[in-house]
Amino acid sequence: MTQSRSAAAPRRRRTTSEQQILDATAALLHAGHRLPDIAVNDIIDAANVSRSTFYQHFTGKSDLAFRFAAPAMAAARTTSDSWWREPAWGTSQDMVDVVQTLMEQGREHRLAWLAVFDVADRDPETAAVIETLVRDYVGQMAVRITHQQRTGTMSSAINPALLGRLILVTTRAAILDQLAHGEPGDDAAFSQTLGRMLWLALHDAK
């Protein structure tokens, strides 16, 4: 037992320092700053850590943005998988429920999502990472759409990858726009509208 605690102690210290940096970043974002405009020195001052400690955990602000957004991204993927990995697609209300959950998660993690895409707007490497993630998920969507085509429930004239990308990019852009400019009180109507539109895009493609 003593050896196990000793081995775990350094990992605990690293985790604590990393969390201090993430918490400091969150505080600066809550104060109204945008991540691309926040200097690393401001982050390490707020976190009360050294510059070397920051770079021990993060290669830069792009890495910080993705690590900060990791819980949001994992939650969104799980929610999306509840539709795209199901053996049979549900009703239009099921799609609305998926969008509603994504919207609720978006509100919870609003600063994280905006931070990632703010950095991506200014950093080509960050944008390239996001594009890789998009292509990977579009590939999964295309497999599912192809399955629907083989069962005769979708037209074989539809390009699965293009439809998947259109759905993903449209959903992402719409949710980000609602997060940035929409009122939380309108989220239910937004989810109803977007969910119904997406369901029709899939079920009218015959």
pTM as predicted: 0.83
Helix axes 124-150 and 160-181, enclosed angle (nearest 10): 130
Q: Which tokens belong to 70?
A: 């990791």
Amino acid sitting at position 31: A
Q: Are 100 and 195 in contact (CB under 8 A)?
A: yes
pLDDT of residue 53: 94
> Is 59's pLDDT higher than 70?
yes
Length of the chain: 206
d(CA 62, CA 25): 13
Find all residues with CB under 8 Å of 99, minimum gap 6, and list them: 171, 175, 191, 194, 195, 198
Q: How confident is the model at residue 126 (pLDDT cuts 50, 70, 90)?
A: very high
Read off the pLDDT band of 6 (50, 70, 90): very low
Phi/psi at 182 (nearest 5 deg)?
-85, 160
Q: What percent of the chain has pLDDT over 90?
A: 81
pLDDT at residue 15, as a whole number: 67
Residue-averaged pLDDT of the chain: 89
Domains assigned to the chain: 1-58 (1.10.10), 61-203 (1.10.357.10)
What mean pLDDT is predicted for residues 58-63?
A: 94
What is the DSSP secondary structure assignment for residue 158, as one 8-state letter? S
